[in-house]
Amino acid sequence: MTKRLLFILGGLVLSLATASAALAQNTQTTTTTTQTTAIQNADGSWTVVEYPVNKEVIVNLTPSGIPNATGRATIHRMANGTAINLNLSGLTNNVSGLNLYAVDPSGKTTLLGPITVNNGTATYSTTTPLDKFMLVLSPDANLATITPQTNVAFRSAVPQGFAVVPLASSGERDGALVGEKVSATTTTGATPAYSAPLLGIPGFRRGTDTEMKINFAGAMTGSRANVYIEPRKDGPTTIKMRFHELKEAPGGQIYSLWAVSADNKFVKLGQVVNTGRRNEAQIQTETALPDFGLFITLEGEQSMPAGAIVGTILR
């Protein structure tokens, strides 16, 4: 074999090796890891997040004005609601009780329950239909909304990897406990026990409160309430209900307010938890139903009425 032929073959082998190396470089896969971080107000005052279904999330509770206190909530959203398990420790001796609220994306609060503190510690378990909320603990028992002036003992922090749900609206109300807005649910085969007379809302004067009568029964016998209904000019109807003489009713119970439409759909308008220690509580909420009846049941955290009717609202 001549030197010229050997030179040509060597050059060909070198060219093939170079092309192979270039091809390997062009087909190499590069993996990029993106770190998701929480975004919130600089002062941490707005921490509403949406919780994923079927995943347990640990949420730290940030104390305010309570040195050395710690708090943690385990939140587990399921198909039929969200479970909340709360643990507090390191509370000072002057803290004997707090109230737990869920704050939704519009800024409205829902009282989840009173919490008793013993020897600086407290545990509490509850559920809520909400899937987007922040938790606030306060000594105040009738918060309607959270403002910079609210007396807050703990506030939920944003878990790592979650983004804050922006504030939808001010949600400002005049000092009332605001009921949760829940979508109407068709009640196929509903029992007549959960019927209530329609109030004739189209005949109400818009922009004006109309006081209603309420008949209490069962566990609520001896209690009183004022009910005011105002069809607003911009559409929804506002319902305000203030309970009195709750000490006459069994403590530790949940009283839920429901609307039932003409086509037999139920909407949960709100609830109050009777601690047995205070006489008054208030629900303020609204519904877009054109006409409806109103009734109150005694039950747990339900998206459909299941407990006994203890009050019916009449015109």
Q: What is the DSSP string of 265-289?
A: EEEEEEEEEE-SS-S-EEEEEEE--
The answer to whether residues 310 and 272 belong to one domain is: yes
The answer to whether residues 196 and 103 belong to one domain is: no
* pLDDT by 10s per residue, the chain, length 315: 555 544 444 454 444 444 444 433 443 333 332 233 344 454 567 889 989 888 899 999 999 888 889 999 999 998 888 999 999 999 988 888 899 999 988 888 888 989 999 999 999 999 998 889 999 999 988 887 777 778 899 999 988 888 888 776 433 333 333 333 333 333 444 444 566 788 888 888 888 889 888 887 777 777 778 899 999 887 789 998 887 766 655 566 778 888 888 877 888 888 777 665 555 777 888 888 888 889 888 765 556 777 778 888 877
Specify if 288 maps to a domain. Answer: yes
User: Does residue 140 contact residue 39 with C-beta atoms inside 8 Å?
Assistant: no
Closest CA relative to residue 305, chosen from 315, 314, 293: 293
The answer to whether residues 146 and 231 belong to one domain is: no
Interatomic CA distance for residues 111 and 74, integer angstroms: 18
The answer to whether residues 72 and 127 belong to one domain is: yes
Q: Please say which residue of 117, 137, 156 terminates a domain.
A: 156
Both tokens assigned to 254: 């949940």
Q: Which CATH number covers residue 148?
A: 2.60.40.200
Specify if 272 maps to a domain. Answer: yes
Number of other residues whose CB lies within 10 A of the CB of residue 201: 19
Which helix (H) or strand (E) element contains residue 260? Answer: strand 253-261
State the pTM of this model: 0.45
Specify if 10 maps to a domain. Answer: no
The answer to whether residues 209 and 91 belong to one domain is: no
User: Does residue 309 contact residue 190 with C-beta atoms inside 8 Å?
Assistant: no
Q: Which CATH number covers residue 254?
A: 2.60.40
Specify if 36 maps to a domain. Answer: no
The answer to whether residues 230 and 308 belong to one domain is: yes
Q: What angle do CA 25, 26, 32 make, to 5 degrees?
A: 90
The answer to whether residues 113 and 208 belong to one domain is: no
Q: What is the pLDDT of residue 168?
A: 67
Encoded amino acid at 221, one letter? T
Specify if 16 maps to a domain. Answer: no
Provide the number of structural domains found in the chain.
2
Q: What is the pLDDT of residue 176?
A: 34
Specify if 251 maps to a domain. Answer: yes
User: Does residue 243 contact residue 278 with C-beta atoms inside 8 Å?
Assistant: no
Specify if 249 maps to a domain. Answer: yes
Specify if 33 maps to a domain. Answer: no
Q: What is the pLDDT of residue 184?
A: 36
Interatomic CA distance for residues 106 and 169, integer angstroms: 5
Q: What is the pLDDT of residue 275?
A: 62
The answer to whether residues 197 and 294 belong to one domain is: yes
Interatomic CA distance for residues 272 and 1, integer angstroms: 101
Q: Please say which residue of 116, 139, 156 terminates a domain.
A: 156
The answer to whether residues 206 and 273 belong to one domain is: yes
Residue with tokens 């050059």: 11
- Cβ-Cβ contacts under 8 Å for 254 (sequence gap 6 or more): 271, 272, 273, 274, 298, 299, 300, 301
Interatomic CA distance for residues 222 and 224, integer angstroms: 7
Residues spanned by the domain of 298: 185-314
The answer to whether residues 192 and 121 belong to one domain is: no
